[in-house]
Structure 1
């Protein structure tokens, strides 16, 4: 029974592994192919000590894990009797202090590496982050899986060749069949929602509220729906949260977007203080403010406010609308700007967007310039009235239409001395690095026939459920071929003006794992 539990645990965690280390400028990194025999951790190891567990029942976990064998080879990795075939090994050398700084919840708080630098090896399964191994000494490793960390002691340089030949045996066939069966009947989705803060005042922290719903089904039955504050989403390095903060100083106010791995969520203040200490900055007493400081290089001689609204959240990028307004310190002139931006999550809270050439190469440049010129001609904008022309390649973002994500650009201009902003369509599909999954299995016309008031819709990779957005509700439908079921399975009331900015799907064994992490991170039953 314990073996089965570990097997299920392993199958469910590929996208939810421990937080990745902070990149170092002098880090060495390489990928080792499955055929490469020179794997530094090759051999048979044993879990000799439990450093930290994700479960509240620590004693039971220790009993279950202690003594388990772990084997690494070019053809497989095994934990107990569970096998991962054809793993890839990504190797990186990082500063030990920096690693602990950005992995503060995946190791004990008093842990210290014996050496200044540490070798970090991540095990990748079919381009998915699987687990992480730290080389402490020649015969000692730390093995990390989803908030659990263990000491491994080396038993032998050799691996069990019998296990290596088990990939075609009946047991593994049964495992693959079970995984395939589960993936057809288990579906889950994280739905990110944005609504306007109706209690907004001049000193309010946020102009918009964000929340995430967890909706799942098994055997065609909808499970209880969960909810969490802010945007909760998966990445290769685990699960992350996005929230907004406002910084105010010297007649300037700016809203920032912060992204944190949930394993570090409870230690943001500590992380910031450590980071400032590493830069030899003086730390004031009682400094527990984790709000970013204003970037005055972006403000220059201007005062006023900058607001940001999240329009889309993906695995590595978000789309944001940035509105600025104010006046210049010298003189009486006002300034105003309205941007659409694609921001890399790893670059937050920095508000600098990417250029379209960064995600779509020269094709993107040609397309946005052509669409920009057509929009100017259509709007009959005179060249002297066009503002921020130099930001052409950066002033673009995402919009949702007819059940799909599209790219659009924005022009800032003046007309009769009044500031204006106009959007235009870019005739390009967002690249996979920005939008990983955007398939609508039920044609939009069929959705509108069934739900005339539908504003948007999302369908699962399993083709079993659809999420339909209306002005006031989220409707969950079964899918039959190219059509929705006759009646919705569930109706969820929305807040006024609430809209979807994210949909991240899980299938098969991932569903149970995602739900567990969602609950551990604060997810509660929807009222």
Structure 2
């Protein structure tokens, strides 16, 4: 192409450098040659651009195929490696989401449990369970019964008082941050001493909550050659247990304000029955003189205990359902927020998440002592969960 242009340029120069032109402007022959040359240039340009465009398009396609082949293959291998890792270590993301929503427990509540052990010597302890690192944990435990009362904690502890002839084991309540009173100074004001009689007085905590406490007592009386024994139950408020220990009538605490008949009695207590707190009262007003167990002569009343007695008492499931899932179940408790369910068996406290998560292994298992039963279950929610954690760690030793 350069050679042809050079020849045309030389010819044009010869024409322009010859004698003056006969016409004004180029000669006809020179004009014709220039026009033909311009037509050749135009035709060449028109034919070149489509061809160049075709080459360019083909190049883009080839480069794209190459990039797709190498990069796509690399991405595919990376994706396969990642998928292989997921399959080896954990379920797919869709299954993970489902597991988080349905199967993974989310614990937010705290549970304060009071336990009584009926062995040779009766003993008591309190446990506090609360979440730590998204799992329930035993935060604190100690002797005695620690109860939440209003915005503070009180403790219910046994005291021992003896005279020359008598022996008394009884309970006294006091603010947990303070020391309990001296039995030798409190006992004479609570029990009358008759030097002609020998009295053995013992008490048990049957129930405790954030307002009321139920006490069962057994008394053996020896006078001369005769002896008698009697049992009695009664319920009072936590502050009242610190002073005169005066019983309250069942009619005084019922929301229905039932005042007559079987409700006008102080011979009643609160007990557990198939996952609920219930009111129990004597079959008759007569005091038993037999060697029967403390609560053998009592029956369940068909009344609803108010929130002043039982703050929360909603089981997670029916008792038959609990019995089906846990054949050895003795009791069960469920939190107000439905995030924690506790099942008590013979020897274990099993802590699960929501009622829908009562299968598989429990999130926490706590070993119980032989003949140990629950007498208190108080729930903490919201900011009280951590407040109780701090206080129980200080007060339970």
TM-score strictly above 0.5: yes
Shift, 1:424, TM fit:
1.8
Shift, 1:344, TM fit:
1.5
Q: Tell me, what secondary structure is at the counterpart of 1:452?
A: coil
- Looking at structure 2, the residues matched to 414 and 214 of structure 1 have their Cα atoms a distance apart, in angstroms, of 37
Note the 1:377-392 alignment, pairs <5 A: none
TM-score by length of 1: 0.50
Equivalent position to 1:468, from 333, 343, 355 = 343
Q: Is the 8 A contact 1:215 1:223 kept in 2?
A: yes
Which position in structure 1 is the counterpart of 2:253?
A: 359
- Looking at structure 2, the residues matched to 299 and 368 of structure 1 have their Cα atoms a distance apart, in angstroms, of 32
- Looking at structure 2, the residues matched to 364 and 299 of structure 1 have their Cα atoms a distance apart, in angstroms, of 37
Q: Is the 8 A contact 1:248 1:294 kept in 2?
A: no
Which position in structure 1 is the counterpart of 2:305?
A: 430
Which position in structure 2 is the counterpart of 1:339?
A: 232
Equivalent position to 1:188, from 110, 119, 136 = 110
Which position in structure 2 is the counterpart of 1:507?
A: 381
- Looking at structure 1, the residues matched to 247 and 392 of structure 2 have their Cα atoms a distance apart, in angstroms, of 29
Which position in structure 2 is the counterpart of 1:215?
A: 129
- Looking at structure 2, the residues matched to 306 and 393 of structure 1 have their Cα atoms a distance apart, in angstroms, of 22
Which position in structure 1 is the counterpart of 2:220?
A: 325
Note the 1:112-191 alignment, pairs <5 A: 185-191=107-113
Cα distance change, pair 342–435 in 1 and its aligned pair in 2 (3 A): same
Q: Is the 8 A contact 1:442 1:484 kept in 2?
A: no
Cα distance change, pair 215–414 in 1 and its aligned pair in 2 (3 A): closer
Q: Tell me, what secondary structure is at the counterpart of 1:486?
A: coil
Which position in structure 1 is the counterpart of 2:174?
A: 260
Task: Report how many residues are paired.
Answer: 286
- Looking at structure 1, the residues matched to 168 and 183 of structure 2 have their Cα atoms a distance apart, in angstroms, of 16
Q: Is the 8 A contact 1:317 1:434 kept in 2?
A: yes
Cα distance change, pair 339–507 in 1 and its aligned pair in 2 (3 A): same
User: Per-residue CA shift, 1:50-96, capped at 9, x if unaligned?
Assistant: xxxxxxxxxxxxxxxxxxxxxxxxxxxxxxxxxxxxxxxxxxxxxxx
Shift, 1:361, TM fit:
7.4
Shift, 1:235, TM fit:
1.2
Which position in structure 2 is the counterpart of 1:240?
A: 154
TM-score by length of 2: 0.65
Shift, 1:341, TM fit:
0.8
Shift, 1:441, TM fit:
2.6
Shift, 1:297, TM fit:
6.1
Note the 1:381-460 alignment, pairs <5 A: 393-410=265-282, 411=284, 413=286, 422-460=297-335
- Looking at structure 1, the residues matched to 329 and 321 of structure 2 have their Cα atoms a distance apart, in angstroms, of 11
Cα distance change, pair 303–358 in 1 and its aligned pair in 2 (3 A): farther
Larger Rg: 2
Which is richer in strand? 1
Q: Is the 8 A contact 1:367 1:427 kept in 2?
A: no
Which position in structure 2 is the counterpart of 1:136?
A: none
Aligned CA RMSD, in angstroms, stands at 2.8
**Unmatched 5+ stretches in structure 2:** 1-105
Q: Is the 8 A contact 1:314 1:435 kept in 2?
A: yes
